[in-house]
Amino acid sequence: MDDLIQKAAADLAQAKMVSALTGAGASIESGIPPFRGKGGLWEKYDPMEVAHIDSFIQDPVKVWNLLIKDMKDIVDQAQPNDCHKGLARLEELGKLQTIITQNIDGLHQMAGNTDVIEFHGTFAWQRCMECNTHIETRRVDISEIPPHCQCGGILRPNAVFFGELIPQEALWRSRQVATDSDVMLVIGTSAVVQPAALMPVVAKESGATVIEINPESTVLTNDISDYLIKGPAGDTINRIMADLDALL
Ligand code: NAD
């Protein structure tokens, strides 16, 4: 493990273009549960019942009550953890250029990263399904479920539900970032949600070193990742940053 931490620090020290792909595991230490794995939301709910666009259109009250309301409470309270802070510092050092995140919690930006591609949109805003007005989630009155826009339309998170397309700009830019990377850090993602999980593959095919940080191995581990550092995101990033500081 120590060897891999040192190797990651050395790879980062040498790299000119570093990117990161982050998933729900990067925010677990901020108190936001993941979808899959131990304590994941899918232990409680069927994803197709609560996170598919067809379910939302059919029964917005149910999806707001089962998923979105709880998510709002959790995301409203969440603060960046050591993983987010470490990645912000990596940008400050001029090493990390872009984060592609599957998360919708805004914690990378709160930590200070300035180039964050929100691959699955953001939970920070709700949008009206009728007139497309955007309203900050923390300003939305949820005493009535589902909440409504002034025009009477139903509000929905400005995030991507299962069954919806990825915003074109996010997809296009992510591919470009993956292609240009010398090193891609892949942190806290099970890498089963497509097309996000394709980005490490694109990076690898373009010659990047792919470094996974995750307590568990994933579908990328054997074929795509150069190595997996098995551990929680915050502690692992702290240790890599300490070694990197000694090298710079
Ligand atoms: P996932 O739920 O499928 O997998 C979580 C991964 O995190 C697993 O591989 C797990 O081993 C790993 N993990 C667990 N604890 C960890 C830790 N302490 N440090 C690092 N890794 C840890 O997550 P996913 O691959 O991101 O896919 C789920 C989808 O759900 C994403 O598309 C995302 O949009 C959405 N989601 C977002 C949030 C959020 O915004 N924070 C939370 C839940 C789900």
d(CA 234, CA 213): 10
User: Could you tell me if the CB of 162 is within 6 A of ligand 1?
Assistant: no
Binding site membership of 40 for ligand 1 (Cβ less than 6 Å): yes
Report pTM: 0.94
Does residue 46 belong to any structural domain of this protein? yes
pLDDT in tens, the chain (248 residues): 789 999 999 999 999 999 999 999 999 999 998 887 777 777 888 877 788 999 999 999 999 998 898 888 888 889 999 999 999 999 999 999 999 999 999 999 999 999 999 999 999 999 999 999 999 998 898 899 999 999 999 999 999 999 999 999 999 999 999 999 999 999 999 999 999 999 999 999 999 999 999 999 999 999 999 999 999 999 999 999 999 999 98
Q: Structural domain of residue 49, as residue ranges?
A: 34-77+130-159
Ligand 1 in reach of 122 Cβ (< 6 A): no
Residue 125 forms part of a structural domain: no
Distance 200 CA to ligand 1 centre (A): 16
Within-domain flag for 69: yes
* Residue 63: inside a domain: yes
Regarding the beta carbon of 147 and ligand 1, being less than 6 Å apart is answered no
Q: Which residues are catalytic?
A: 120
Specify the number of domains making up the chain.
2
Q: Are residues 208 and 231 in the same domain?
A: yes
- Rounded Cα gap, residues 184 and 215, in angstroms: 18
Could you tell me the CATH number of the domain that includes residue 237?
A: 3.40.50.1220
Give the alpha-carbon dihedral of 67, 41, 31, 212, to 10 degrees: -130
Q: Output the residue whose Cα is nearest ligand 1's atom 7.
A: 25
